[in-house]
Structure 1
Amino acid sequence: MPFTLQTPCDYHEEIRKSRFLALAAPVESAEQALAFIEQHSDHSASHNCWAFKCGSQYRFNDDGEPGGTAGRPILAAIEGQDCDRVVVLVIRWYGGIQLGTGGLARAYGGSAAKCLQGGARVELIERIQARCHVPFAELARVKARLGDWQAVVQQECFDETGADLVLTLPSHALDQARQQLTDLSRGQIQLRTQPD
């Protein structure tokens, strides 16, 4: 099961007189990841190398380091820590000693991995959207049960007989929610997933 970070985190390391600062944060989109990189890059540093992964979208950048020695190892660290929806920026201040391509890859990938290991992580749970119409007489009881299914009301529209609810809930809770809604309402409430 993939994880994301609960909050941003950082990790400092000095390797053969070069200073490395790894910064990592949870993100919901490529745009958020790029904004984080822009906001936290230190333009006085020698290199600002980064990678992010948001579902099937990923990118990385070596920022002037030899090809494949920075961005790709950072991305490998993200994947190796089973993370998703995460951005990692590793800033390097060159200390005058060459690390070689293997040393650079180990330094960037290692700093990223240690940063992610030190951060508070939360499990990413796949959520699906479902909708149902709830009569007014059942609305309070249904809302009281939402927590049992880890369901969140995304939209609520009232009509003359009750409320149309659009919910998101973990996919593993869908069958339980359907059954309990049917039982609770004696078959009146049908939970439908999109599109039905």
Structure 2
Amino acid sequence: MPYTLAAQAHSELLIKKSRFIGCVQPMADRASAQAAVDALWKQHPGAAHICWALMAGGQSAAVDDGEPGGTAGRPMLEVLRHQDLEGVLATVVRYFGGVKLGAGGLVRAYTDTVAQALLAAPKVALQRMATLQCQVPYALEGLLRREIESSGAELLTVSHGTLVTLQMRLPEAQTPDFVARINDGGQGRVGWM
């Protein structure tokens, strides 16, 4: 099951006089990620590199920002992938300390910085949601509202016309049982749209 983060988390490592400042945070798309990286450059104008990795479906990215190819962004992305995260941006700000780390040292530094930040990050499971809409007679509106509340579904809209139209959202896995309960309680008077 994929996870995302509930809030951002930070880490900091000192490796051979280089300072690595890591951050992991929920992020929906590449444009938002680029804006977050641009903001980091304003906060850390003296940084040597700001490498980042975004795991966001078809908008995933891995950026080495001047580090040798494949030593920063890609390893950071692999940490996110290994932990089954989705909709997450990992950034690492590096202040160069004067000692070269080599390719292996860079990979370890960037992956360790992201992994340390993820240890402190609150994770939440991602669930596929289903949106349902139905029409019921006025007499069944109360029953339907109680079922929506007791199942933890979210009531999105209600409109009153000849019939009451309700739109709700709930986890996809709960949908068949929810629909069956509504159909049983409605005794054939529920119209699904």
TM-score (norm 1): 0.90
Decide whether the 8 Å contact of 1:8 with 1:119 is kept in 2.
yes
The 3 A distance-change label for structure 1 pair 82 and 187 is same
* Aligned AA (1:34): Q
SS at match of 2:60: strand
For the pair 1:15 / 2:11, whether they are aligned, the reply is no
Moved beyond 4 Å, runs of 4+: none
The 3 A distance-change label for structure 1 pair 147 and 13 is farther
2: CA distance, partners of 1:130 / 1:161: 16
1: CA distance, partners of 2:162 / 2:40: 52
The 3 A distance-change label for structure 1 pair 154 and 32 is farther
Moved more, 25-34 or 91-100: 25-34
Fraction of identical pairs, as percent: 32
1: CA distance, partners of 2:31 / 2:179: 36
By how many angstroms is 1:119 displaced? 0.4
For the pair 1:178 / 2:173, whether they are aligned, the reply is no
Question: Residues 1-196 of structure 1: matches in 2 within 5 Å?
Answer: 1-41=1-41, 42-162=44-164, 164-192=165-193
Decide whether the 8 Å contact of 1:77 with 1:113 is kept in 2.
yes
1: CA distance, partners of 2:59 / 2:151: 29
* Aligned AA (1:5): L
Q: Which whole-Å deviations, capped at 9, do the CAs of 1:120-158 have from their partners, x for residues lacking one?
A: 110111112221113322222212222443322233333
1: CA distance, partners of 2:83 / 2:23: 15
Q: How many residues align?
A: 191
The 3 A distance-change label for structure 1 pair 59 and 167 is same
By how many angstroms is 1:107 displaced? 0.7
Decide whether the 8 Å contact of 1:9 with 1:115 is kept in 2.
yes
The 3 A distance-change label for structure 1 pair 153 and 37 is farther
Q: Which whole-Å deviations, capped at 9, do the CAs of 1:51-96 have from their partners, x for residues lacking one?
A: 1111232011111101111110110111111111101111010111
The 3 A distance-change label for structure 1 pair 8 and 100 is same
Q: Which whole-Å deviations, capped at 9, do the CAs of 1:12-54 have from their partners, x for residues lacking one?
A: 1111111111111112233322222222332321100001111
2: CA distance, partners of 1:145 / 1:122: 25
The 3 A distance-change label for structure 1 pair 177 and 53 is same
Decide whether the 8 Å contact of 2:147 with 2:182 is kept in 1.
no
* Aligned AA (2:29): S
RMSD across aligned positions (CA): 1.6
Structure 1: runs of 5+ lacking an equivalent: none
1: CA distance, partners of 2:105 / 2:49: 15
